[in-house]
Amino acid sequence: MDKYTKDLLDCSSKLDAMIEECGQITNLARSIISGDNTDSTIQLLEKLLAIANDRSLTIEAKKMAAILKDSLVRYYGHFYLMEICNNKSEPVEKEKTLKELLDELNSLVGLDSVKDKVKDLIAYQKVQKMRRDNNLHSVKNTLHLAFLGNPGTGKTTVARIVGRIYKQLGLLSKGHFVEVSRTDLIAGYQGQTALKVKKVIEKAKGGTLFIDEAYSLTENDHSDSYGRECLTELTKALEDYRDDLAVIVAGYTEPMQKFFESNPGLRSRFSTFIEFEDYSVRELEEILVDMCAKNDYELSESAKKLLHIYLENKVNSKEENFANGRMIRNLYEELVMNHARRVFNMETPNIVDLKTILDVDFNQLPNQNLKNADPAS
């Protein structure tokens, strides 16, 4: 809870105690914080004006009413500044056609089963909308999706594309993308989590809400009262705003199964579950080569052979929570740094030197036994 919200609640509680309002003023303040801004604000201001004009009340009560009014002004100033900053932080992307979005989906490395399922989903939603537009019976399934799989398998990227496709099909009014995690939804005080969830839902309406590592909302099992409060509010929103909100939850497969078991009504709100498989060695190689090409780097033939050895070792000794594309991103950054150190010590590097990553750059990777590997083999 930020200091402006806390100050508004504290002042409301103190004024309630002074004039014996039985919590009415505090309830109005809570309504304002929860998003019921206009009516509750007018009612609170009317009460404060009545207190100021009531000759039977003490000077201390009238002073507290004035303090509460100032607190309300500060709260709204902070609230709208945050709104402006949040809106500004969301870059406005040029709207793409449905064909361009499908091409973007198809251009992703691997994910064949994911692409097929997304295309089936889009075909179904598009045809059902066409049937509705022609006054034919249609079943409007929920837009909500569950993405299951290890990190680095493209879940966030696909979620962004799906959200923009929904907008292109006329299923969402705005098409913006809001990404949150546990810290954005769970508050530190009882009763405040529901307010946090409502604010997030309000911000996401008309677009796509992506909840990464959604299982963390219930990571403390059934003892986590804040998590249960969050899921109760979220489950309600999934139904109430299903016509203009797509919620996509994502996370590891097994913890996500437990997540859906934690609330009886949660699983029924999601009609589509998509499994994201780990990338193969060939696909991981392709991702790194593409990443290099987009940034004007290229791998020498011997470096490509070492890359294959490196990735085979990683995939064959795959640990739990294998990082897939994230591992490739980290590998790319390490190779670029090793390349920079090497080229920096050259007297007059040419354009080939500046763009080519060599096998020696792989040998500089930490904790990798590639020095004895034969790139020519």
Question: What is the per-residue pLDDT for 61?
Answer: 87
Quick one: CA dihedral 175, 176, 177, 182, positive or negative? negative
What pLDDT is recorded for position 222? 47
For residue 38, what are the contacts with CB-CB under 8 A and spacing of at least 6? none
The 10 Å Cβ neighbour count of residue 317 is 8
Residue 367 per-residue DSSP state: T
Helix or strand run (H / E) with residue 131: helix 112-133
Given CATH 1.10.8.60, say whether it is the number of domain 281-363.
Answer: yes
**Measuring CA to CA, which residue among 84, 358, 345 is closest to residue 203?**
84
How does DSSP assign 281-303, residue by residue? HHHHHHHHHHHHHHTT-EE-HHH
In what helix (H) or strand (E) does residue 179 lie, and over which residues does it extend? Answer: strand 177-180
pTM: predicted TM-score of the whole model, two decimal places: 0.71
DSSP assignments along 16-64, one per residue: HHHHT-TTHHHHHHHHHHHT-HHHHHHHHHHHHHHHHH-TTS-HHHHHH
The parts of the chain modelled with pLDDT lower than 50 are 88-89, 222-223, 371-372, 376-377
In the chain, where the domains are located: 3-89, 98-276, 281-363
Fold classified for 98-276: Rossmann fold (3.40.50)
Model confidence over 219-236: pLDDT tens digits? 765 446 778 888 888 999
108 DSSP 8-state letter: S
User: What's the per-residue H, E or C state across 223-267?
Assistant: HCHHHHHHHHHHHHHHHHCCCCCEEEEEECHHHHHHHHHCCCCCH
Contacts of 185 (CB under 8 A, 6+ apart): 193, 196, 197, 200, 211, 217, 230, 234
Query: What is the token pair recorded at 154?
Result: 């493209």
User: How confident is the model at residue 74, as a pLDDT?
Assistant: 86
pLDDT confidence of residue 36: 53
Residue 65: predicted pLDDT: 87
Amino acid identity, position 88: K
**pLDDT recorded at residue 266:** 87
At 375, is the secondary structure helix, strand, or coil? coil
Torsion over CA: 218, 221, 224, 228 (sign): positive
> What pLDDT digit, counting tens, does each position of 65-102 carry?
899 889 888 888 876 776 666 554 455 567 889 899 99
How many C-alpha atoms does 308 have within 13 Å on its Cβ side? 11
pLDDT at residue number 377:
47
- The predicted pLDDT at position 47 comes to 86
Return d(Cα 331, Cα 264) in angstroms, integer: 42
What is the C-alpha separation between 291 and 336, in angstroms, rounded?
Answer: 11
* CA 19/CA 287 separation, integer angstroms: 67
